Amino acid sequence: MGPESVLTRRTLLSGGALFGLTGLLAACGQQANNEAAATASTAPSESASASTAASDAASASATPSPVITRGYSGGSKAPDGEYRKADAYGPAQNVPKPRNEPAQYPETEEGLSRMMEDWLAAHNYAIQTGNCAPVIQYVEKTSKEYPFYEYIEDLYKRGGWVVDGLDSYQVEGDLIYDEKQKIYRMKFRRFWSTVMYIDSDGEITKRANTDKNDDLFNYFFKYTEGYWKIIGSGAENNFKDA
């Protein structure tokens, strides 16, 4: 299942250009020190003759996608403690770990802000490692965020990974309590540029934040026995319509 079919939450997927890339990981097959114990398939050379290119195009429908082998970002294993971001060779290395469990914070705007800092650390950790155990503790299963984490977890289990895609947020409104619905909401602006999902079957999907109209939206929260939790997101004030 591709990201376009599961990543539907507004805060991650709206407004971006979606397109497939081919041949990006051809260099992965040249990693002499790749400890993944397999060789990535390579794309045809750009210097191929016109006749070869025409032949390849004619048989493209019958040619299976290349199998991508996950190696090391930067082309080698990073020393212990050295953070290295993800690239075409492999996922990020030595990513700083977030909290194992959510902390109790007061039912105040400051308390919510501290929880959101913890959630964001766990969120970006999940994107870079595929370990979503810490972050799913911050969201309800019924929220739009939850299916995204399920997709990320499955992508990494299949041997894929994510390049870029890290988020940052800025508060754009006051914390508001809806007495009728018994929930809180706060407006945020999300900052992101590009994200690339690399699957082990050779499928590569990239999104670019070319339309920033939906980067401003509400998060909805509930507060129970000392813990804040994200229950949804959307542009509307009414949670049920978001």
Q: Residue 65: its pLDDT value, please?
A: 64
Q: Which residues contact 74 (CB under 8 A, 6 or more apart)?
A: 84, 87, 89, 93
Residue 34 structure tokens: 């790749």
For 24-63, what is each residue's pLDDT tens digit?
Answer: 343 343 343 344 333 333 333 333 344 444 444 444 445 5
- End-to-end Cα distance, the chain: 25
Write down the pTM of the prediction.
0.76
pLDDT digits (tens, 9 = 90+) for 208-240: 988 877 789 999 999 999 999 999 998 766 565
- Map out the domains of the chain as residue ranges: 3-241
Rounded to an integer, what distance in angstroms lies between the CA atom of residue 140 and that of residue 64?
39
